[in-house]
């Protein structure tokens, strides 16, 4: 990493790295500010800079009011935010985040993700998570690990384009058996599912040839005489890629 071998003795390398474990652990007798200052001292920040950085990170983590309280009294979300703050203490060039949003409420999660988005302008961020929506939102490159083996590593967009085929979602008034039967017979259609409810039929069409489907589907709908309520080409998600690669 950064031209250095990563070993238990590579101490200097760690001054350029930030790390947040999945469940950050703290010395419960310490107070929030005290812990951040301790981390700053470990990074050998000069006293004044250390104090300034602690203030900045407490502000960032939303822990200003709790800074003088013992960590033992912090909620899980507060501990997670303090964990993220300590990982940023040295303005790392490489940042490892293990499930950074796992204990956060929706607002806290959004704030952390926005921070990671900002951080990736100045640092390489490695983030492990099971929340694929977060990955889609902020990650440039995705690696999928199954049973300890790296199954794939690719840019997010390319991965989605390669593995997840778009789905056409059509909603008709009444029944739509006729068009379903017709679509099933066409060579560029891989699969059609039909669901009913509220006097509506919802068709989900998986196309093997998306370009042909985009061109032909509107014509087929127009010729069917059915009343179209909704037409959408849904974007593929990483979840579908994950399921395809790892198996449901």
Residues engaged in binding another protein (CB under 8 A): 8-9, 11-12, 14-15, 17, 19, 21, 23-27, 29, 38-39, 41-44, 86
Per-residue buried b or exposed e for 101-118, using 16+ beta carbons within 10 Å of the residue's own CB: bebbeeebbebbbebbee
Q: Which C-beta is closer to another protein: that of 50 or that of 104? A: 50
Task: Tell me the β-bridge partners of 20.
Answer: 97
**β-bridge pairing 141-146 and 149-155:** antiparallel
**Rounded to an integer, what distance in angstroms lies between the CA atom of residue 144 and that of residue 163?**
13
Contact present, 168 and 205 (Cβ < 8 Å): yes
Name the packing angle between helices 238-246 and 156-163 (round to 10°).
60
Task: Tell me the β-bridge partners of 142.
Answer: 154
**Closest approach of another protein to the CB of residue 71, in Å:** 11
**Closest approach of another protein to the CB of residue 142, in Å:** 24
Q: Which C-beta is closer to another protein: that of 89 or that of 217? A: 89
Q: Backbone dihedral region of 236: left (phi > 0), alpha (psi from -120 to 50 degrees) or beta? A: beta
Q: Which C-beta is closer to another protein: that of 43 or that of 188? A: 43
Q: Which C-beta is closer to another protein: that of 17 or that of 167? A: 17
Q: Which C-beta is closer to another protein: that of 47 or that of 75? A: 47
105 Cβ contact list (under 8 Å, min separation 6): 77
**Closest approach of another protein to the CB of residue 38, in Å:** 6
**Closest approach of another protein to the CB of residue 76, in Å:** 14
Q: Which SS3 state, helix, strand or coil, does residue 169 take?
A: strand
**Rounded to an integer, what distance in angstroms lies between the CA atom of residue 60 and that of residue 33?**
13
Q: Which C-beta is closer to another protein: that of 127 or that of 207? A: 127
**Closest approach of another protein to the CB of residue 49, in Å:** 13
**Closest approach of another protein to the CB of residue 156, in Å:** 27
């Amino acid at each position: 990493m950064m031209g250095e071998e990563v070993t238990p003795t590579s101490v200097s390398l760690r001054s350029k790295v930030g790390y947040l474990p999945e469940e950050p652990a703290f010395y419960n007798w310490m107070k929030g500010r005290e812990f951040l200052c301790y981390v700053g001292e470990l990074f050998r920040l000069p006293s004044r800079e250390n104090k300034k950085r602690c203030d900045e990170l407490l502000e960032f983590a939303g822990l200003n009011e709790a800074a003088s309280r013992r960590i033992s009294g912090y909620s899980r979300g507060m501990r997670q935010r303090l964990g993220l703050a300590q990982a940023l203490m040295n303005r790392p060039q490489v940042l490892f985040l293990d499930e950074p949003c796992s204990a956060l409420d929706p607002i806290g999660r959004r704030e952390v993700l926005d921070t990671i988005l900002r951080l990736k302008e100045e640092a390489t961020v490695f983030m492990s998570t099971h929340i694929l929506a977060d990955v889609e939102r902020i990650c440039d490159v995705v690696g999928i690990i199954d049973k300890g083996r790296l199954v794939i590593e690719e840019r997010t967009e390319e991965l989605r384009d390669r593995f997840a085929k778009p789905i056409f979602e059509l909603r008709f008034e009444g029944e739509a058996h006729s068009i379903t039967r017709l679509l099933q017979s066409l060579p560029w259609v891989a699969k059609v599912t039909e669901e009913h409810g509220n006097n509506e039929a919802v068709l989900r069409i998986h196309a093997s040839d998306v370009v042909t489907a985009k061109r032909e589907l509107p014509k087929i709908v127009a010729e069917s005489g059915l009343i179209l309520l909704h037409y959408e080409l849904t974007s593929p998600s990483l979840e579908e890629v994950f399921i395809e690669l790892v198996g449901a």
